[in-house]
Structure 1
Amino acid sequence: MKGKIDLLTHLKELAGVFSKLGIIGFGGPAAHIAMMENEVVSKKKWMSREHFLDLIGATNLIPGPNSTEMAMHCGYHRAGWPGLIVAGLGFIIPATLITVAIAWFYQRYGSIPDIKPILYGIRPAVLAIIINAVYKFGKKALKNWQLGIIGAAVMIGSLSGMSEVLVLLAGGLLGMFWFSVGQKKGSMKQSFLPLLLLTGKPELLKVAIAATALSTGQVVGNVSLVKLFLVFLKIGSVLFGSGYVLIAYLQDELIDQLGWLTQQQLVDAIAVGQ
């Protein structure tokens, strides 16, 4: 009985935290993950900052929206599979509802509301959140000069345009060979779940949702929901890299190959996702 009560308490906590993050989580994945770190590590102390960093590394090695995957990982850490579901739904439902509402408005009136003034005000706040998170992560991650060298090499590789996956793998291999001698194997009790069914990179997950909503509205009479699902499943299963890569995938699939959207509609979907 006590175990059930504890589980329900944890699920209520997860629902509250990640629903709030889903509502206020403007900006890209860096801002989302910084907000999660503040809630999950600094305030709630559900896990150590080191473990949170490990989860960030894992989510960058698999396709799909990193910030949504992080929400699910945190939920799983706190309350197992029920926690994974509650945290994931809490994080994505607010954005999904807003996107569906805007897509309905778009279908009815042929344009989207002008939200640029709002975005201009949000961006400085998002930048401040990211800088604060990077500072806190840096203090935990860069504990000695060897890790500093690896971090600098990874940063140079990332800034030079190397693939995110290759950069992360290279950093991991360097660390493994450098610190393997005399080190005990780390205990990773919380599994890194391969959440492959989710689509797109995190900062443009809502772009995919918007594009789906718009394309469904345009060709609902000609395309089955199964085909729509399979198209985005394929994209989500093979997509690595930045959100701009997602735009290229959507351009190729929805416009060039299938003809579900026009170029202007894809541009409007990107605006909605931002």
Structure 2
Amino acid sequence: MSSPSIATETRPSLGELALVFFKLGTTAFGGPAAHIAMMHDEFVRRRRWISEEEFLDRLGAANLIPGPSSTEMAIHIGLLKRGWRGLLVAGACFIVPAAILVSIIAAIYVKYGALPRVAGVLVAVKPVVIAIIVQAFWNLGKTALKSWWLGVVGALAAVAYVFRTHELLILLGAALLASLPMWGKRAKSAAVLWVGAIPAAAGIAVPISLSRLFLTFLKIGSVLFGSGYVLLAFLRGDFVDRLHWLTQQQLLDAVAVGQITPGPVFTTATFIGYIIAGTRGAAVATVAIFLPAFFLVAISGPLVPRIRKSKIASAALDGVVVASLALMGVVAWQLGRDAIVNWQTVAIALVSALLLLRWKVNSAWLILGAAAIGVIWHG
């Protein structure tokens, strides 16, 4: 690994750390891939608090543990810059604004039985999100692709993801493939494993309790790898099919709120908790689903520099990094098919990409501008 750049020597105060993550928590729309792209823009390109290599290493580490990847990236950055205090400040300031906003929307939903009208805003914001993801994919890819073999690993990871291979298996397979040159002829082959969904067992409704709500979301936060689509499968299995605490429509509305609000998509749990048990339910669900992320990052964060000292482990981490970027690229492609649907959205995406790549405009301003356009178009 190259020697640390001047970016790694920057030590922001806890106040600075809190302010920047609070800003991200209130403006980071578009899901984990977009959040990670915005963090790259904020901390690597603009503030130069961390280097490209450090960012990619933490991205790989975040993808190796269960939980919300963008929130774990925030926690990793806080840990890297200010130790355990930074870990708590960065994570909390990224989560809390979204949790408060989602709780307010949930209260409106429970009272009126419907969501606010946000279709026009979504139509305009989504193309900007795609442009942000593409920008991060391009910038990070130039650092991550250190050899032709890593390019092959990334391509195989993308193909596996398109064919619905489980994300964890993709990352593990990429780590194995990337480390093959280090092992030499002892490793003869590698296989791609496929995982099928297991239907949740049907049953009668279970009485609602805060303790069961806490334990259910704690389990999800402890074992869930992958995107918001995987989260949807877990939520449906637990809360619709097994516990019968939600209807299918309530679940879909909860996921929609998680997508249209800034900050972590996992604040979908906040919405569900409020529907089930009011304000206390929202607080319990939020703490439970995010608590494992703080614990797992605190354990895994200090191991990243040690991993880089081993040639085999370092090569495996490189594989995880390129696989993570491959997943980001496929997500951008999949979302782009739904987001860029007419000449207006094409124009927004192209202009956003130009402003990001050529003039380095802050992505938060682009999202706010697109939201304003959406309000005007569909007002």
Shorter-normalised TM range: 0.7 to 0.9
Task: Name the structure, 1 or 2, with higher relative contact order (CA <8 Å, separation 6+).
Answer: 2
Name the structure 1 match of 2:69: 66
* 1:19-47 superposed Cα distances (whole Å, 9 cap, x missing partner): 11111111011100000011111122222
**Does residue 105 of the first structure (1) align with residue 70 of the second (2)?**
no
Equivalent in 38, 46, 51 of residue 49 of structure 2: 46
Q: Which residue matches 1:194?
A: none
Q: Which stretch of structure 1 is more off in the superposition, 75-84 or 150-159?
A: 150-159
Question: Secondary structure in 1 aligned to 2:67?
Answer: coil
Report what 1:131 is aligned to: 134
Matching residue's letter, 2:229? Y
The equivalent of 2:293 in structure 1 is none
2:228 aligns to what?
Answer: 243
Letter in 2 for 1:240: F
Give the AA of the match of 2:252: V
User: What is the CA deviation profile of residues 72-111 of structure 1, one whole-angstrom value per residue up to 9, with x for unaligned ones?
Assistant: 0000001000001110011111110110000000111111
Partners of 1:263 and 1:272 in 2: CA distance: 14
SS in 2 for 1:60: helix
Query: Is 234-243 or 87-96 further displaced after alignment?
Result: 234-243
TM-score under structure 1 length normalisation: 0.78
- Residue 232 to residue 34, structure 1, CA distance change in 2 (3 Å): same
Identity of aligned residues (%): 53
Aligned to 2:209: 224
Higher mean C-alpha displacement, 101-110 vs 152-161? 152-161
8 Å CA contact 1:60–1:164 kept in 2: the answer is no
Q: 1:175 aligns with which of 138, 159, 178?
A: 178
Is the 2:11–2:49 contact (alpha carbons within 8 Å) kept by the matching residues of 1?
no
1:14 to 8, 14, 17: 17
Report the AA paired with residue 83 of structure 1: G
**1:188 counterpart residue number:** none
Amino acid at match of 2:34: A
Q: 1:75·1:86 contact (CA, 8 Å) conserved in 2?
A: yes
Following the alignment from structure 1 to structure 2, what is the Cα–Cα distance between the partners of residues 252 and 163? Answer: 17
Say which SS state the counterpart of residue 49 (structure 2) adopts. coil
CA distance in structure 2 between the partners assigned to 1:263 and 1:233 by the alignment:
22
Structure 2: distance between partners of 1:241 and 1:132: 21
Unaligned runs of 5+ in 2: 1-9, 185-205, 260-379
Matched AA of 2:243: L
Q: Which moved more, 1:159-168 or 1:100-109?
A: 159-168
**Pairwise CA RMSD:** 2.0
- For residue 256 of structure 1, the aligned residue among 241, 247, 254 is 241
Q: Give the partner amino acid of 1:54.
A: D
User: Residue in 1 aligned with 2:59?
Assistant: 56
- Say if 1:180 and 1:39 are closer, same or farther in 2 by CA, change over 3 A: farther
3-state SS of the aligned residue for 2:121?
helix
Q: 1:163 maps to what in 2? A: 166
Kindly indicate whether the alpha-carbon contact (under 8 Å) linking 2:11 and 2:81 is maintained by their aligned counterparts in 1.
no
The answer to whether the 8 Å contact 2:102/2:257 transfers is yes
Q: How far apart in 1 are the matches of 2:11 and 2:128?
A: 34
Which residue is equivalent to 2:347?
A: none
TM-score where L is the length of structure 2: 0.57
> Could you tell me which amino acid in structure 1 is paired with residue 214 of structure 2?
F
Residue 30 (str. 1) matches residue 33 (str. 2): yes
- The question of whether the paired residues in 2 share the 8 Å contact of 1:74 and 1:84 is answered with yes
Give the drift of 1:147: 2.1
| Alignment coverage as a number of residue pairs | 229
